[in-house]
A and B are shown apart, each in its own frame.
Chain A
């Protein structure tokens, strides 16, 4: 059968001298070329040439980590474009938001995409964290990659938080006022940390400049670096977690017992959990095309969903920031509403102690959990204790978030969401 014209054109180009110099391997035709295609491309080589068949089971990973990565790409692309119009000044920031909404071609769409992708990223990073927990995937040898993952979760929240100030609307101003005041409750360094974050005593131009620098370069840069390490570690820790199978572990002589005055090839030095070791070749699948095309398909799906949301729902923009009057109620974005509900009881307990303990527990989790069993399966019975504790914490967070979102009205008082909104009498 004759291949379609674009493919023929591509094949012709890939085999010219110029094409060869760029792509090295054309469109792979054999298993050898499939492996070479993965190894010879900087974009693809972060992934192995072959993956375990279990890694491609959609029901195991649900693709949550990959969706988070796709959202990070979308956020980077849309964010860089928004930077061409946005001015981080208290006088002009809000006006540039209005320009994006009403004047700039596709400005509204890009801002919507950026906002919804950001919300989705927080959601999917959280879901990814839950997936890794419920499948016991953080256990040896993947302990440290879990810790990096917790760091990435915090980066995601930090990016959302710093991004919130930039529109300089009411929500921005008061969310950051409340947030940086929470930082002020941290023991010992609290007030100094708050001053350092704001570059002053109140949320003003200095704070906007600082949050802008953090949002557009510092945090994304650190996050990109951590994502690279996170992905690389997945490979180095033996690919995605999976249930242990007979033949997985092969006896290797410990590195110390090998003669030291001999030259070694890389394959001989590959130890323990590297992907080459201990996998039956029959269990392996070529990444090209099976993994790469699935990834591309998922990226298209994620892009389509973000685009759909951005076309049909506009990102909210409240009134111009008014340092005199907070909106009533002044609500943080949904992922902070559980915290805000806690903070409404006590700023120190809800804003510093409880989140601090939770993050510490998450970081230390793989080193505290001594149970080696139940890796690679959802809700393994051996892990019933750990799963129960985690589920209770998760449900508490969800309930607090629901209360903060739907059951809190003016003055953070209790309202029943099914009743009509009470007329606001108290104001200025």
Chain B
């Protein structure tokens, strides 16, 4: 058989068309499915991270007017009279831990400044610090749920006598 000389008009046969189309489709599908599978493989199904719900302690553990830093949870527990609130200590900018200042909170990494209500006073932080839901557990402990975000006003008010 002689090889074709020069470019000749070569109409695609039916078999050629199907081979070409399905061949390439199958190849594209195989590549896409492998890539998708690999990415899915890298998304963990189980996380070994501490629970987002924790007991902070007894109400009497916290002085009136204090903002206590709870290290393991990276939150501040703020008590004013009989109201208890829980403020995230994680800067909304890039995740550093903010420090308590005389008034408000300062982030050491990029200089964001927050007021006592967690609102941004200056710096690159795009949002206010998060407030978490505070409730009272059955065994008289303060219960914080870091999954539930609340507004700054939404505080736990204890009954007059605990």
Which residues of A are in contact with B by a Cβ distance under 8 Å?
Answer: 174, 177-178, 180-182, 195-196, 199-202, 204-206, 260-261, 323-330, 340, 343-348, 351, 410-413, 426-428
Whether A260 lies near B5 (C-beta < 8 A) is yes
Instruction: For chain B, residues 93 to 115, give those with C-beta under 8 angstroms from any C-beta of chain A.
Output: 93-97, 99, 101, 106-111
The smallest beta-carbon distance between B151 and chain A, in angstroms, is 22
Return chain A residues, CB-CB under 8 Å to B74. 323-324
Q: Across the interface, name the chain B residue whose C-beta is closest to A411.
A: B111
Whether A326 lies near B108 (C-beta < 8 A) is yes
The smallest beta-carbon distance between B129 and chain A, in angstroms, is 15
The segment from B9-17, B42-50, B55-63 that touches chain A is: B42-50
Q: Across the interface, name the chain B residue whose C-beta is closest to A350.
A: B124
The 10 closest A-B pairs by CB, nearest first: A328-B108, A412-B111, A344-B110, A181-B94, A181-B95, A326-B96, A178-B94, A330-B109, A324-B71, A412-B110
Return chain A residues, CB-CB under 8 Å to B47. 200-201, 206
Whether B96 lies near A177 (C-beta < 8 A) is yes
The smallest beta-carbon distance between A260 and chain B, in angstroms, is 7
Bound form: Cα–Cα A174–B94 in Å: 10
Q: What are 18 A-B interface contacts by the 8 Å CB criterion? A: A177-B95, A181-B93, A181-B94, A181-B95, A182-B94, A196-B43, A202-B49, A206-B47, A330-B96, A330-B108, A330-B109, A344-B124, A347-B126, A411-B108, A412-B108, A426-B99, A426-B101, A428-B99
Contact of A201 among B42, B43, B49 (CB under 8 A): B49
Bound form: Cα–Cα A150–B90 in Å: 35
Size range of the chain B interface in the assembly:
20 to 34
Bound form: Cα–Cα A324–B96 in Å: 9
Whether B69 lies near A428 (C-beta < 8 A) is yes
Return chain B residues, CB-CB under 8 Å to A347. 93-94, 124, 126
The smallest beta-carbon distance between B37 and chain A, in angstroms, is 14
Q: Across the interface, name the chain B residue whose C-beta is closest to A210.
A: B42
- Given A201-B47, A411-B107, check contact A178 B124 (CB 8 Å): no
The smallest beta-carbon distance between A421 and chain B, in angstroms, is 15
Return chain B residues, CB-CB under 8 Å to A174. 96, 109
Whether B93 lies near A411 (C-beta < 8 A) is no
Whether B108 lies near A329 (C-beta < 8 A) is yes
* B interface secondary structure, majority: loop
Return chain A residues, CB-CB under 8 Å to B94. 177-178, 181-182, 343, 347, 351
Return chain A residues, CB-CB under 8 Å to B69. 428
- Given A177-B95, A181-B95, A345-B124, check contact A340 B6 (CB 8 Å): no
Bound form: Cα–Cα A199–B123 in Å: 29
Asked if B3 is an interface residue, CB under 8 A from chain A, the answer is yes
Which residues of B are in contact with A by a Cβ distance under 8 Å?
Answer: 3, 5-6, 39, 42-44, 47-49, 69, 71-72, 74, 93-97, 99, 101, 106-111, 123-124, 126
Return chain B residues, CB-CB under 8 Å to A329. 108-109
Bound form: Cα–Cα A196–B109 in Å: 24
Bound form: Cα–Cα A206–B43 in Å: 11
Return chain B residues, CB-CB under 8 Å to A326. 96-97, 108-109
Q: Across the interface, name the chain B residue whose C-beta is closest to A202.
A: B49
The smallest beta-carbon distance between B146 and chain A, in angstroms, is 11
Bound form: Cα–Cα A346–B127 in Å: 12
Most buried by A among B49, B71, B93, B109: B109
Bound form: Cα–Cα A324–B90 in Å: 10
Return chain A residues, CB-CB under 8 Å to B124. 343-347
Return chain A residues, CB-CB under 8 Å to B95. 177-178, 180-181
Return chain A residues, CB-CB under 8 Å to B39. 196
Bound form: Cα–Cα A344–B22 in Å: 52
Bound form: Cα–Cα A102–B119 in Å: 47
Return chain B residues, CB-CB under 8 Å to A348. 126
Whether B99 lies near A412 (C-beta < 8 A) is no
Whether A261 lies near B110 (C-beta < 8 A) is no
Return chain B residues, CB-CB under 8 Å to A411. 106-108, 111
Q: Across the interface, name the chain A residue whose C-beta is closest to B102.
A: A426
Q: Across the interface, name the chain B residue whose C-beta is closest to A180.
A: B95
- Given A260-B6, A261-B3, A326-B97, check contact A410 B43 (CB 8 Å): no
- Given A324-B71, A325-B97, check contact A195 B110 (CB 8 Å): no
- Given A195-B43, A344-B124, check contact A410 B49 (CB 8 Å): no
Q: Across the interface, name the chain B residue whose C-beta is closest to A197.
A: B42
Most buried by A among B5, B47, B123: B47
Whether A261 lies near B126 (C-beta < 8 A) is no
Q: Across the interface, name the chain B residue whose C-beta is closest to A412.
A: B111
Return chain B residues, CB-CB under 8 Å to A346. 124, 126
Q: Across the interface, name the chain A residue whose C-beta is closest to B70.
A: A324
Return chain A residues, CB-CB under 8 Å to B93. 181, 347
Whether B110 lies near A206 (C-beta < 8 A) is no
Q: Across the interface, name the chain B residue whose C-beta is closest to A341.
A: B110
Whether A200 lies near B96 (C-beta < 8 A) is no
Whether B109 lies near A412 (C-beta < 8 A) is yes
Return chain A residues, CB-CB under 8 Å to B126. 346-348
Q: Across the interface, name the chain B residue whose C-beta is closest to A424.
A: B108
Q: Across the interface, name the chain B residue whose C-beta is closest to A205.
A: B48
Most buried by A among B42, B69, B96: B96
- Given A324-B71, A324-B74, check contact A340 B110 (CB 8 Å): yes
Bound form: Cα–Cα A181–B101 in Å: 24
Bound form: Cα–Cα A109–B72 in Å: 37
Q: Across the interface, name the chain B residue whose C-beta is closest to A328.
A: B108
